[in-house]
Amino acid sequence: MPTDTPLKNELPLVDVFESPDRLLMGAGPSRVHGDVLKAMAQTTIGHLDPAMVVMMDELKDMLRYVFQTGNVMTFPVSGPGSLGMEACVNNIVEPDDKVIVAINGVFGTRMAEVTRRAGAEVIVTEDEWGMAVDPNKVEAALKANPGVKAVGFVHAETSTGALSDAAAICRLAKNHDAMSIVDTVTSLGGVPVNIDVWGADAVYSGTQKCLSCPPGLSPMTFSDRAVQATLDRETPVQSWLLDLSLVASYWQGDAKSGARTYHHTAPVNTLMGLHEALRRIVQEGLKNVWARHKAASDIIVAGMEEMGFSMLVDANIRLPELLTIILPEGIDDTAVRGKLLNDHRIEISAGLGPFAGKLWRIGVMGEGARPENAERVLRAIKALIS
């Protein structure tokens, strides 16, 4: 092969990338503890290495603790929370199934679209953005549509900061012989998530919010009933990568031999990071983690209200880890957020959909949920609007 042929589009050598120091207080990703980053910087090993298998089993046990479940099929899939949504929907739903999806923000809307693409007949209930899902509307839809296969909803709507009654909605689904598909991307680790108490069936989350781990994995848990539904399918799961009956052979082992079998090359260093993030939660204790999120959130709510801001969501359904704060007249959304980032090295998020330019979303998640971070955000905002 000739060696004197010039390469096309040769590039000059660039400097090593160094990420800027930011305090992440937006809708995600959240601030990551140094111990998690250190764990991710360990030597890469094979995804079937015996040491890796031991770590995976520990990780699954810790996920069961955080989800508060005994579900055997509990593990992270390789991808962000949106991939977890795809995995839950596409394993449970078959073409022409009837599925109710409750919409009260961006991510309920996304779940409805994913479900339509899976070939389902989607029946939508809608609630005003900033409100919780109304269980009465879900119940009415179930009564009006016999034979519904599943009910999907977002427990903690990231676009609005509203928390819905997961226990009530899962109970309604079960009472009508339907399964529940639950988005806990923003709630897991920030507020109580009790999968077994709720009787939830197919649940997914993300690592980059209250678990305080870099994005890239979606923790999931399937009830025995949901697992059986995947086994009883009349059609194959449309995505080979997301077919949990295949992924389980890597995470749980072959049903007969127990040996782990190759499905895809797992992101081993990212899993090491999640292992450490979960280990820290277990060490702190779930109740303490929830209390820490609430305490830091209360500091921000009180400080913002003192400055003349108001909250979009009523206190009784307000997510402590994701605050939606209405902007008063005279506050330039883009300009203030830009100065927060450039001058104070703090990231907060803009509003989505109808709230674009009208509110801020301040995340109080994971390592960000500490009093010193809450006070730092308040000082910076006060300095910029004074």
Residues 148 and 241: their CA atoms lie apart, in Å, by 26
Q: In the block, which residue shows the tokens 């955080």?
A: 66
Which pairing describes strands 121-126 and 98-103: parallel, antiparallel, or unpaired?
parallel
Determine whether 169 is exposed, middle or buried from the number of CB atoms within 10 Å of its CB (0-12, 13-18, 19+): buried
Residues 53 and 59: their CA atoms lie apart, in Å, by 10
pLDDT of residue 38: 98
Q: Each residue of 93-111: pLDDT tens digit?
A: 999 999 999 999 999 999 9
For residue 122, what are its two tokens?
């989607």
Residues 179 and 173: their CA atoms lie apart, in Å, by 6
Q: Is 77 helix (H, G, I), strand (E, B) or coil?
A: strand
pLDDT of residue 263: 87
Reference 180, options 146, 205, 149; nearest CA is: 149
pTM, rounded to two decimals:
0.95
pLDDT of residue 255: 61
Q: Which H helix or E strand runs over 54?
A: helix 50-67
Domain ranges of the chain: 23-29+286-385, 34-282
**23-29+286-385 architecture in CATH?**
Alpha-Beta Complex (3.90)
The neighbour count for residue 130, using CB atoms within 10 Å, is 23
pLDDT of residue 253: 75
Residues in the chain: 386
> Chain centroid to CA 146: how far?
31
pLDDT of residue 258: 67
Determine whether 370 is exposed, middle or buried from the number of CB atoms within 10 Å of its CB (0-12, 13-18, 19+): middle
> Is 251 within 8 Å of 222 (Cβ atoms)?
no
**Domains 23-29+286-385 and 34-282 belong to one CATH topology:** no
CATH 3.40.640.10, domain 34-282, yes or no? yes
Q: Each residue of 358-382: pLDDT tens digit?
A: 999 999 999 999 999 999 999 999 9
Residues 31 and 124: their CA atoms lie apart, in Å, by 35
The neighbour count for residue 27, using CB atoms within 10 Å, is 26
pLDDT in tens, the chain (386 residues): 556 777 677 788 999 999 999 999 999 999 999 999 999 999 999 998 999 999 999 999 999 999 999 999 999 999 999 999 999 999 999 999 999 999 999 999 999 999 999 999 999 999 999 999 999 999 999 999 999 999 999 999 999 999 999 999 999 999 999 999 999 999 999 999 999 999 999 999 999 999 999 999 999 999 999 999 999 999 999 999 999 988 888 888 776 666 788 889 899 999 999 999 999 999 999 999 999 999 999 999 999 999 999 999 999 999 999 999 999 999 999 999 999 999 999 999 999 999 999 999 999 999 999 999 999 999 999 999 98
pLDDT of residue 262: 80
